[in-house]
Structure 1
Amino acid sequence: MLPNRNLRLMLASAAFIGLSGPAFALDGADLVTKLNAAYALSGATIAYENVAVDGTTVTLTGVTVKSTAAPGKDFKVGEVTLEGVEESDNGGYYVETVTLPDVDVKEDETAVTAKDITMGGLTIPGNPTGGTINDMVLYESAGTGPVTVTVKGKQVFSMDESEANLAKQESDAGFDFDATLSGIKADLSDVEDAKAKDAIEKLGLKTLSGEMTIKGSWEVASGNVSLEEYAFDFANVGRLAFAVDISGYTLEFMKSIQEAMKAQEANPNKEEANQAMGLAMMGLVQQLTFNSASLRFDDATITKRVLDYIGAQQGVTGDQLAQSLKGMVPLMMAQLNVPELQNQVSTAVNTYLDGPKSLTISAEPANPVPFPMIIGAAMGAPNTVPGVLGVKVTAND
């Protein structure tokens, strides 16, 4: 009896495994359907010719990206491989790695190439309208290898690599993000406009090399977006860094923008659609609050070259032009009727021109300022805006 009992258990187990296999198999078509449901909110859809599933790997062939913003201009991607695919508890999917084919696009006399395009930790929501951070398409990392742009057979732009990261905060409160575009090179030697070409040559800007960096965070509940750094850093030119901190950019705010964009695209009367979009955006801006912002430039010899170049056109030296600017700035600022800011700007400009190192414009109000208050001040008494925002201008600090 015992051998027969064991045999029946083995057969039952085999039958269960055989029946359960298809139930647990990945549904590649469902994955794309849910990805499209999420992307549809931003006006994009993904089409494919075939989907194949092999274990936890989903391969899409003949992939094309369509955008409602550019009808008739579908972008052909090719074969996309998703590895380490798992179904999530919320009905969505988690993809360990996404590999896309190299890009090689040509239009007229311009060609663009991009290699080694990958994405890691892709989350596809089961319900993109759920209203939480887990109902968004998110990735943990993304990047590319070399990127080039060629015009008329000559390379005018290249980048060694790019990398972006996204990390969820504790309790899904929001996420932190950063990105780096490194090894950027631009060739401006073939600019056709005579004046621009002359300026580029005399300023020593025929070739540029540097990098771009981004860093920030977003808190879902308050809609606080803190862009800590958005910077361009080029050799022998300088580093320009922008930062801003605002609140009110919530998921509801995002959905309102998406709905306004859908309405604009659906309206065949483009003039009417653009006017409606403008009014909608004016209404949405009322929900935002300004916390702080700054713009900083760190000089890397470009200032002296600009002074010398402009001075030569006026028949003076760069130093003479600098002295002239020192006298002109107070007169120009006086027209704005903002005495405190006038003194700050004059002092900063004098300090910077005497020995260019850095120039910073910052806005840090004592308390957060609602955007309607800023708009009201700008319309009623423009000269009060710097005081409302706590604007300061400093140099070489």
Structure 2
Amino acid sequence: MKRITRLSLIATIALAGTSQAALALEATDFADRLVETSKLMGVAFTYGSASAEGDTVTISDFTISIAGEDDVEVPGDVVFTGVVETAEGGFTAERATIEDVDYTDEDEGITLNFVDIAAEGIALPAEVSVDTMLETGFNLYDRISAGPLTVSDAEGNELFAIALMEVTIDEAAADGGVTSGFQVTGISADLSAIEEPEAQEAFATLGLEQFNASMSGEGTWWPETGEGTVSDVSFVVDDLGSISMDFAVEGYTEALYSELMKLNLKMAEMAEADIEMDDEQMLAMSEAMMEPLANVKLVSGALRYDDNSLFMKVLDLVGAEQGVDGETFKAGLQFMVPMALAEVENEAFKTMVTSAVNTFIADPQNFTISVEPEEPIAFSEFEGMEAEVEADPFVLVDLLNVQITANQ
């Protein structure tokens, strides 16, 4: 009995040792796969150690390297929870987190606090290769979020804050479209902290003490057709106004996506090799990344401003400098528009602009500049047109079929 008990105990210890070794190996495999996969984003990761406990993998001494930039050391550990190895040899993780950032610049007397930094729905492929770039890029994560972020002075007064920053990627729809989006909410700034007298005078005239804003956007790409749309990219300033943009393109193919990913891999390899890049090399790399996009075609686009009191506040500010109130300046502004366009020879364009601008001035609601070319135009077609456009700016107006409207 004693011999059996002793053998059982030895076997248990041996199995425990084997289990821990396997967990350590899996943690290292997971960390190595993360390093390789992240190169698709153009960054190189290094780490000191990786350990596993249950389905939690902890990576220590995590450093991010980007070509041409100083390395960034992630504070504390990077912790992945809900880690599972897939049947194909890849990995998934429910969530990844890092420690909150709490930094104080003693010289400036400024404290930065950044909390709840996390990624969710992480998927690492069994193999990182050119053939799997598209699938890997779409499935790398479901959501990345962070915040609140706050910046405070030495007395603890909040100077700037962001409530939430978030990026999401949805699963492919039935038509093959992949949608991603972002939002930055709860942007706020204490304008009283800006000490310049002229700025404070302008804020007083505009009736502003606190700046509150948000940003958001969404885009969908159909890899099989090369079509893409970006919609509702907007910057909203509470109680003042908003700017939004949307556009559609075609020719953004899977092959083009792969070429861009290859450039990202090259950037990551340079960062990994600690190759320093001067300004000329950085410019060359930027041009190399833009070159594949030259044949992407613009289908349509629009830039829109929606007013929510900002226009009249600006007229009050400008009018005060000339000794009149905003309403008086507004009335004079309507007469100034035709005068400003007097030298424009394109009568149709002049009429369109005059009508839209005066409509907006009379009742400031919204103002839109859009392009609707008869046929999609490749961005490469704009190269070498500088002299032609300088001689006749309306070449672009006609080519893009520029439309200007108000209050629609």
Same fold (TM over 0.5): yes
TM-score (structure 1 length as normaliser): 0.84
- Segment of structure 1 superposing worse, 166-175 or 230-239: 166-175
Q: 1:276 aligns with which of 277, 284, 287?
A: 284
Distance 2:85 2:259 in 1: 29
Alpha-carbon distance, 1:386 to partner = 1.9
Alpha-carbon distance, 1:44 to partner = 2.3
Cα gap change, 1:295/1:35 in structure 2, threshold over 3 Å: closer, same or farther? same
Cα gap change, 1:81/1:317 in structure 2, threshold over 3 Å: closer, same or farther? same
**Percent identity of the aligned residues?**
28
Match of 2:208 in 1: 205
Distance 2:352 2:151 in 1: 43
Match of 1:103 in 2: 101
Distance 1:113 1:28 in 2: 30
Q: Would the aligned equivalents of 2:250 and 2:296 in 1 still touch at CA under 8 Å?
A: yes
Q: 2:159 aligns with which of 140, 156, 159?
A: 156
User: Which secondary structure does the structure 1 equivalent of 2:62 belong to?
Assistant: strand
Distance 1:264 1:333 in 2: 52
Distance 1:50 1:264 in 2: 23
Distance 1:79 1:122 in 2: 17
Match of 1:312 in 2: 320
Match of 2:80 in 1: 82
Q: Would the aligned equivalents of 1:243 and 1:293 in 2 still touch at CA under 8 Å?
A: yes
Task: Choose between structure 1 and 2: higher strand proportion.
Answer: 1
Output the amino acid matched with 1:150: S
User: Which secondary structure does the structure 2 equivalent of 1:189 belong to?
Assistant: helix
Match of 1:138 in 2: 140
Cα gap change, 1:150/1:252 in structure 2, threshold over 3 Å: closer, same or farther? same
Output the amino acid matched with 1:100: I
Q: 1:183 aligns with which of 178, 183, 186?
A: 186
Output the amino acid matched with 2:152: T
Output the amino acid matched with 1:241: S
Question: Structure 1, residues 243-275: CA drift from partner, whole Å, max 9, x if none?
Answer: 222233431342365378579988867353255
Alpha-carbon distance, 1:122 to partner = 0.9
Match of 2:394 in 1: 383
Match of 1:49 in 2: 48
Alpha-carbon distance, 1:128 to partner = 4.5
Match of 2:36 in 1: 37
Question: Structure 1, residues 142-184: CA drift from partner, whole Å, max 9, x if none?
Answer: 2234221224543221123333321121479452122332222
Cα gap change, 1:100/1:306 in structure 2, threshold over 3 Å: closer, same or farther? same
Cα gap change, 1:278/1:163 in structure 2, threshold over 3 Å: closer, same or farther? closer
Distance 1:245 1:201 in 2: 41
Distance 1:152 1:16 in 2: 56
Distance 2:130 2:336 in 1: 56
Question: Structure 1, residues 278-318: CA drift from partner, whole Å, max 9, x if none?
Answer: 65356334222112211111111111110010011122222
Alpha-carbon distance, 1:121 to partner = 0.5
Output the amino acid matched with 1:384: V
Does residue 61 (structure 1) correspond to residue 60 (structure 2)? The answer is yes
Does residue 195 (structure 1) correspond to residue 198 (structure 2)? The answer is yes
Output the amino acid matched with 1:322: K
User: Which secondary structure does the structure 2 equivalent of 1:294 belong to?
Assistant: strand
Question: Structure 1, residues 73-97: CA drift from partner, whole Å, max 9, x if none?
Answer: 4233312221111223554321111
Distance 2:180 2:277 in 1: 38
Distance 2:285 2:162 in 1: 36
TM-score (structure 2 length as normaliser): 0.82
Cα gap change, 1:364/1:253 in structure 2, threshold over 3 Å: closer, same or farther? farther
Cα gap change, 1:277/1:181 in structure 2, threshold over 3 Å: closer, same or farther? closer
Output the amino acid matched with 2:399: V
User: Which secondary structure does the structure 2 equivalent of 1:325 belong to?
Assistant: helix
- Segment of structure 1 superposing worse, 52-61 or 40-49: 40-49
- Segment of structure 1 superposing worse, 82-91 or 305-314: 82-91
Q: Would the aligned equivalents of 2:66 and 2:268 in 1 still touch at CA under 8 Å?
A: no
Unmatched tracts of structure 2, length 5 or more: 1-13
Cα gap change, 1:198/1:17 in structure 2, threshold over 3 Å: closer, same or farther? closer
Output the amino acid matched with 1:217: T
Output the amino acid matched with 1:112: L
Unmatched tracts of structure 1, length 5 or more: 1-14
Match of 2:337 in 1: 329
Match of 1:252 in 2: 258
Match of 1:119 in 2: 119
Alpha-carbon distance, 1:376 to partner = 4.8
Cα gap change, 1:237/1:35 in structure 2, threshold over 3 Å: closer, same or farther? same
Higher relative contact order (CA 8 A, sep 6+): 2
Distance 1:253 1:336 in 2: 44
Cα gap change, 1:165/1:135 in structure 2, threshold over 3 Å: closer, same or farther? closer
